[in-house]
Amino acid sequence: MTPQPKRLPSGRWRVRWRDESGNLRQRSFDKKPMASAWAAHVSHARQMGELAQIDAGKKPLGVLADECKTRRWENREPATCNRYVRTWNLHINPYLGTTPVVRVTAPVIEDWLATLKRQGVSADGRRRALSLLRSILARGIEWGYVRGNQAASIPMPTADPKPSVRPLAPAQVEAIVRQMDRPEDQVLTRLLAYAGLRPGEALALTDQHVKKKTLLIEQAVSNGRIKATKTRQVRSVDLLAPLGSELREWMLATGRRGLLFPRFDGEPWRDTDYQNWTRRIFAPAARDAGITATPYTLRHSFASLLIHAGEPVTYVAAQLGHAPTMTLDTYAHVFADLERGVDFDPAKAIAEALSVV
């Protein structure tokens, strides 16, 4: 039965109906046409079995986010899930968590972004937060919370300008290595700098991945688990002769089998292991050498060696495991500064740096 609008003594119009649990609900309007339209909407929702969705938009955004976490985020890679949760907790929940989903409108979103900016959140942080909000509201449409995603119409904040990469020369890499006491820390650092591996890729290397002239990169470590590489592609990286010799001598001396860089219990590194290594081993070594670098940025050194050797962009990109366009964007200034007509041998440059005592 279609609910009928009823005029109230105040002049407003009221529509009453019972929800799926039999509870009496009501809503009032200023004009009869609006009340009649709502009554028809309630009747249609009942016929379609969608009566529960009428009040879905009144649920707080935090309820929808919790549902996203259990139904979607937790099915992602742990690092991705943690990043979503961190962004939600820091930049969205304190401001919009209690706001009914239906009231997360474009003006509200714009005010929220302006608040984040005033509080010093970087453009990259605001971009991540808006992207996550768009995703949450998209799930809200899918699950019947709202009919539209007003975050989709909000333009992304302009990205922060990225500083130009400053590749380290082999002599600088070796200056860092000389500050390290353990051979395995030295070998890991050289793999990052002279093979261009991402840290997770280096930590997933086994003895079977070390070939005669190449390294087979087919997996990576992510918080204690072995998974596919970042691009989900397998690649072979040229193993420059000096690095190959150092690596094989170390493997022979230590008898390493399986993972080359396992935890103390033989398992892959967890995020905390990598953070501790960076903070306690790499960072002090770089500081004592008077060099500013992170383990990840060491791969820029490998890219720079290839570029100065005159290798084409496509080859450099394939060795690093990303798209040629990204290589150009990241290393454009390195290509521009390249001294033409000068022969450069990466292996020789590394060998000379290794020979310095």
Where do the domains of the chain lie? Answer: 6-55, 61-153, 170-355
Q: Residue 108, Cα to own-chain centre: how many angstroms?
A: 26
* Residues 111 and 141: beta-carbon distance below 8 Å: no
Q: Look at domain 61-153 and name its CATH class.
A: mainly alpha
Q: 220 by DSSP, 3-state: which?
A: strand
Tens digits of per-residue pLDDT, 57-71? Answer: 678 999 999 999 999
If you search the block for the tokens 């009501």, which residue do you land on? 26
More confident residue, 338 or 333: 333
- Residues 6 or more apart in contact with residue 64 via CB below 8 angstroms: 101, 136, 137, 139, 140, 143, 145
Is residue 52's pLDDT more than 70? no
- Residues 6 or more apart in contact with residue 137 via CB below 8 angstroms: 64, 101, 104, 146, 149, 150, 151, 152
Domain 170-355, classified CATH 1.25.40.20, yes or no: no
> What are the C-alpha distances in Å from 287 to residues 193, 198, 280, 293, 298?
17, 21, 11, 9, 15
For 320, how many CA atoms within 13 A lie in the half-sphere containing its CB?
29
pTM above 0.75, yes or no: no
Residue 256 tokens, joined: 């390493």
Query: Cβ-count burial of 72 within 10 angstroms (0-12 exposed, 13-18 middle, 19+ buried)?
Result: middle
* Residues 9 and 21: beta-carbon distance below 8 Å: no
- Residues 6 or more apart in contact with residue 200 via CB below 8 angstroms: 220, 221, 222, 230
In 3D, which of 302, 327, 297, 294 has the Cα closest to residue 194?
302
Tens digits of per-residue pLDDT, 108-128? Answer: 999 999 999 999 999 999 999
pLDDT band, residue 42 (cuts 50/70/90): confident
Is residue 240's pLDDT more than 70? yes
> Which runs of E-coded beta strand occur in 1-160?
6-7, 13-18, 24-29
Q: What is the pLDDT of residue 41?
A: 79
d(CA 168, CA 300): 7
How many helices (H) and strands (E) would you count in the chain? 16, 7
> What are the C-alpha distances in Å from 42 to residues 34, 47, 51, 102, 348?
12, 9, 7, 17, 78
Instruction: Report DSSP state, residue 100.
Output: B
pLDDT band, residue 322 (cuts 50/70/90): confident
- Residues 6 or more apart in contact with residue 63 via CB below 8 angstroms: 101
